[in-house]
A and B are shown apart, each in its own frame.
Chain A
Amino acid sequence: MAAPPITPIVMPKWGLSMAEGKVVSWLVEEGTAITVGLPILEVETDKIANAVEAPDPGLLRRKLAMAGEVLPVKALLGVMAAPEVSNAEIDAYIAAYVVPAAAEGAEAEAGPAYLWAEVDGIRVRYARRGEEALGTPPVLFLHGFGGDLDNWLFNLDTVAASTPVIALDLPGHGQSDARLPGRAILADLAGFVLHFLDGLDVERVHVVGHSMGGAIAAQMALAAPQRVASLVLIATAGLGVEINTGYTEGFVAAATRRELKPAVEQLFADPTLVSRQMLDDLLKYKRLDGVSQVLAQLGAKLFGGGRQAEQPVAQLAGSTVPMTLVWGREDHIIPAAHAAHAPDGTKVQVLDGAGHMVMMEKAGDVNALILAQVKGSQAS
């Protein structure tokens, strides 16, 4: 018996809090041959808008969701099927489709969404997904300055479908304690992350780092190359001195939504992606006691005086750790030109139409690059 010839396109689940999404518009017509990774339609959540991409190739036979419609996660948006599948068969498939809402709820309640660990006296929040397999290093995600593990909402689940992932809120960030390890230089932060992995009994990881998280990842590879299977550094710090401290200082100083919005808009090539919910979530974090001081202290250490103090990525020249660099061409925080300083042997990809948050704006491309790096280094 042949595999089912019909592939559903469903409402994605981006991040733990997403329960429904709004269909903004279809990006392809019925009858289009879909290739893997092709943006099919645009969906908006209260946090951000993004394109739904094809998980499998096929022919788009039916668009079901209409622009403007708000639908639950896993609702059927459209149907792909081979040309030989009849319209009647597609009608029957659609009629029989049930949104697995109850199962989704039960699954969410079954296990804790986030986990907690205490590392060097600092309580950190983290998430762990995907099936653990002996001898397969998980992929560790490190967010940037002022970020948290939800910065990876378009990445974690996709990557976790192929290989186990771990993401944490760095000290002073997200819901982790508002304290910093040691003197808050990169060596202290990298050491903290390695201790975090010790606590989980994880010896070796692929590390995906964004911005400041990229510099921390590089520092880990310098300090403990045997524990880093590969690096994917996204809009990374530590590969040049320039940094837009107008952004970092504006972000730290902003106390209200009106002040924060122009700062956060600099993170994206498309500033309309900055939603009210995104700003509210950031303000909720920034208003916690101690966070402003921690961010100011960290900012002064890492890029005080308008220059990046440390260059660990540049120091990786000659390292045996394989590395991919990803940048958004319209990065207003750390210039994409820094990619030219990449050590020899690095795979470099600069993506058009994306800013500093390239892993959100071009999630499909970035996920493919992460998986290629992870699989490539596993094969070798």
Chain B
Amino acid sequence: MARKISMKQAINEALDQEMARDPSVIMMGEDIVGGAGGSGEMDAWGGVLGVTKGLYAKHGDRLLDTPLSESAYIGAAIGAAACGMRPVAELMFIDFMGVCFDQIYNQAAKFRYMFGGKAETPVVIRTMVGAGFRAAAQHSQMLTPLFTHIPGLKVVCPSTPYDTKGLLIQSIRDNDPVIFCEHKNLYGFEGEVPEGLYTIPFGEANVVREGKSVSIVTYGLMVHRALEAAVALAKEGIDAEIVDLRTLSPLDIDTVLESVEKTGHLVCVDEASPRCSIAADVSAQVVQAAFGALRGPIQMVTPPHTPVPFSPVLEDLYIPSPLQIVAAVKRSLAGGKH
């Protein structure tokens, strides 16, 4: 266990080991090998940030470089899944999902239901999410709430290399369509990861820090911002508990409720736009199920309701910061009932 690898390596290893274990696992995506129709070294690119590099050499034609048409290959992956394969489609940026939305939300998500429970669609769509990459408004969004809105889709957004490997293997083995969201600013983040295969069940949040004063509920990159905030809060005697949701559909609301019942205060941190976000959803569910446990107003820490700015200065201000989380915690505690 002492071995540390990056989140990017954890994704590569999960794909590699699962492809070796199960011949029905295939991959599709733009430039995941060397670029369709390109000449020369076939394994040159391994995807836009090199996540799948090296897999072609091991698994050959089970990795398909596709034309630059998301609607075509996402549809092909969903069709292959319906016919018994376990495709993993890489769709560079979640921002590009729009062009293949019919295939995802009206087809893949509905097959099980429309065919009387007889159809399964074990497809995984891996995609990069999040801001902070200086990639402007069309490549930086955290569109997770678009997918949690749709019944029939599972939505995953891990924060550590360990969770990434276990949840990606679980996603591949799961018989429903999974939107697997990888925060591009966590690709280099390192952590301990077992060498062998393992799975983490969906719908199990992880309490990454135990505390008594306030519950901070979040996922993805924001888990790390919350941990920074917790260090600052601890110096002032405020003991924050941090819940990493890990999977957004299904959502482990029980762990959130248990935490809020203990602390009496809830701060939801979400990198998605504020309206109809994961933060708004969790806040509403807590109010509905545990209103009596709340001893202060729920606070949400989100970006402003605006596209992600291209100006580096503004982009840094756009992303929720540890300071904003600290301030939100204090607002919840100050507004408390006595």
Contacts and interface: CB of A to CB of B under 8 A. Distances in A.
A289 B207 CA distance: 23
Given A287-B199, A289-B196, A175 B207 contact: no
Interface stretch (A22-30, A73-81, A255-263): A255-263
Contact of B210 (A175, A178, A276): A276
Interface string B223-248: 00000000000000000000000000
Contacts of B207: 257, 276
Contacts of A287: 166, 198-200
B95 interface: no
Interface string B198-210: 1111001001001
Interface in B245-291: 254-255
For the side of the interface on B, what is the size category? 10 to 19
B314 interface: no
B313 interface: no
Which one of A113, A255, A258, A289 has the greatest number of beta carbons of chain B within 10 Å?
A: A289
Contact of A284 (B1, B210, B254): B1
Interface string A276-317: 100000001001110000000000000000000000000000
A12 to B, nearest CB: 21
Interface string B158-172: 000010001000000
Contacts of A256: 201, 204
A284 B198 contact: yes
Given A256-B204, A287-B198, A289-B197, A113 B2 contact: yes
A289 B210 CA distance: 28
A283 to B, nearest CB: 8
A111 to B, nearest CB: 13
Nearest to B209: A276
B136 to A, nearest CB: 38
B188 interface: no
Interface residues of A, number: 13
A114 B3 CA distance: 12
Interface in B167-226: 194, 196-201, 204, 207, 210
A159 to B, nearest CB: 23
Contacts of A175: 1, 194
Interface string A63-95: 000000000000000000000000000000000
Interface string B290-306: 00000000000000000
Interface of B: 1-2, 162, 166, 194, 196-201, 204, 207, 210, 254-255
Q: Which 3 A-B pairs have the closest CB atoms?
A: A289-B197, A287-B198, A288-B198
Given A175-B1, A288-B197, A289-B198, 12 more contacts: A113-B2, A178-B196, A257-B204, A257-B207, A258-B255, A284-B1, A284-B162, A284-B194, A284-B198, A288-B194, A288-B198, A289-B197
15 contacts: A113-B2, A175-B1, A255-B201, A255-B204, A256-B204, A257-B207, A258-B255, A276-B207, A276-B210, A284-B198, A287-B198, A288-B196, A288-B197, A289-B197, A289-B199
